[in-house]
Amino acid sequence: MQRTEIESLGEFGLIRRLTEQTVLRQPSSLLGIGDDAAVINPEGKRVVVSTDMLCEGVHFDLSYAPLKHLGYKAVAVNLSDICAMNALPTQVTVSIAVSSRFSVEALDELYAGVHKACAVYGVDLVGGDTSSSTSGLMITVTALGLVDGEQAVSRSGAKAGDLLVVTGELGGAYMGLQVLEREKVVFQSAPTAQPDLSGHEGILERQLKPEARTDVIRELADLELKPTSMIDISDGLASEVFHLCASSGLGVKLYEDKLPIDPHTYKTARDFNLDPTLCMLSGGEDYELLFTISQDDYEKARNHPKLSVIGHMLEDKDEKTLITKNGLETPLKAQGWDGIQQSNKAEES
């Protein structure tokens, strides 16, 4: 494959190449790339802004994350943060720091993912910055979104008795990562081995190419259902539940049998000797939305195919309980990915 050095284009040539296909779709985007700054017209709405940085070796591993997926994911996870405020995303800026290890063609791939995500979500790329890096790749995305008057939702508005709701299904992204890690180990010991990823496409997509739930934000608006508090699930359900509890000054009761998992994720967790519930609680990177609603809105959420009511908020901020499938009360724990592996080892021994 052809390899064009970044140097041969220079900074401005590179920016032009990566951004020349950019189109503006949003009426609020008055001026995009090419000037000193972009100009946005919120037309009386409120502007929501969020930034996330992704660093090679910390947030992604290029030995299994294709650059196109990485570009897509970098945008999608930022749009997810905008959704978590009950807003709809409208613009992004993308800043990159790259070392000479990367060719222009590699950056084309990265930006193919960025442009794809912008097209899928109807969001405009309106700026960014380009820098060299002495080691590795860094991508910073800033997302902007708009929300009507009083509709923005923070983490802190939940009330005792509010119902806790989660979108979609949980644990898939974590199990996708487990499959990728397994194949990476196999590959490192026998570089000619072909990775065995077949059948796992769904969970690999969940890990490599997560989606932001703009669809749910639109449907909540159609239902006239305004959450009382909301957060997106980047670290894992339990950890995000703890954030909502801390911000709202409340406790929580969760029901294990209400947690949504898709059958393939469940089976893969079992095959890996992992507890599917632990994968849902602590897996992370599902980018689903977690929110609370008033009990008066129960009927609106109850039969919605994308929503699961998984528990409720408690007055006592020190009580955070999981009711297991057997009806036992256990303290809810927020453990990271390492925690899953450790408790798995403890179960084995």
Q: Which residues bind Mg ion (CB under 5 A)?
A: 129
Minimum CB distance to ligand ADP, residue 6 (Å) = 12
For residues 6 and 107, the answer to whether their CB atoms sit within 8 Å is yes
Smaller CB separation from ligand ADP, 110 or 230: 110
What's the min distance (Å) between Cβ of 36 and ligand ADP?
5
Q: Work out whether 99 is an interface residue with ligand ADP (CB under 6 A).
A: no
Q: Which of 343, 326, 77 is nearest to 214 (CA)?
A: 77
Residue 110 binds to ligand ADP (criterion: CB under 6 A): no
Q: Which does 35 bind (CB under 5 to 8 A by kind): Mg ion, ligand ADP, none?
A: ligand ADP
348 touches ligand ADP (CB under 6 A): no
Q: Can residue 129 be called a binding residue for ligand ADP (CB under 6 A)?
A: yes
Binding of ligand ADP by 128 (CB under 6 A): yes
Q: Does 74 bind ligand ADP (CB under 6 A)?
A: no
Is 251 a binding residue for ligand ADP by CB under 6 A? The answer is no
Q: Which residue's beta carbon is nearest to the bound Mg ion?
A: 129
Nearest to 94 by CA among 46, 59, 144, 56: 144
Residue range at the interface with ligand ADP (CB under 6 A); choices 30-38, 214-222, 325-333, 341-349: 30-38
Nearest by Cα to 80 from 239, 215, 278, 229: 215
The reply to whether 33 sits near ligand ADP by the rule CB under 6 A is yes
Distance CA 133, CA 102 (A): 10
Strand order in the sheet with 229-232: 229-232, 289-293, 163-167, 307-314, 251-255, 320-323, 329-331
- What single-letter amino acid sits at 180? L
323 binds, among ligand ADP, Mg ion, none (CB under 5 to 8 A by kind): none
Q: Which of 99, 103, 130, 151 binds ligand ADP (CB under 6 A)?
A: 130
Under the binding rule (CB under 6 A), the answer on residue 276 touching ligand ADP is no
Shortest approach of ligand ADP to residue 131 CB, angstroms? 9
The yes or no reply on residue 96 touching ligand ADP (CB under 6 A) is yes
Q: How far is the CB of 127 from Mg ion (least distance, A)?
A: 9
Beta strands 124-132; 88-98: pairing state: parallel
Are residues 233 and 97 in contact, defined by beta-carbon separation less than 8 angstroms? no
Told to check if 113 binds ligand ADP by CB under 6 A, we report no
Long-range CB contacts (within 8 A, 24+) of 196-205? 199/264, 200/176, 200/264, 200/268, 202/172, 202/262, 202/264, 203/172, 203/173, 203/175, 203/176, 203/179, 203/264, 203/265, 203/268, 204/176, 204/179, 204/180, 205/176
Give the distance from CA 305 to its chain's centroid: 20
Q: Which helix (H) or strand (E) element contains residue 293?
A: strand 289-293
Chosen from ligand ADP, Mg ion, none, partner binding at 271 (C-beta under 5 to 8 Å by type): none
Q: How far apart are CA 123 and CA 126, in angstroms?
A: 9
Q: Does 148 bind ligand ADP (CB under 6 A)?
A: no
The binder of ligand ADP chosen from 20, 36, 43, 224 (CB under 6 A): 36
Residues that bind ligand ADP (CB under 6 A): 15, 18-19, 33-36, 94-96, 125, 127-130
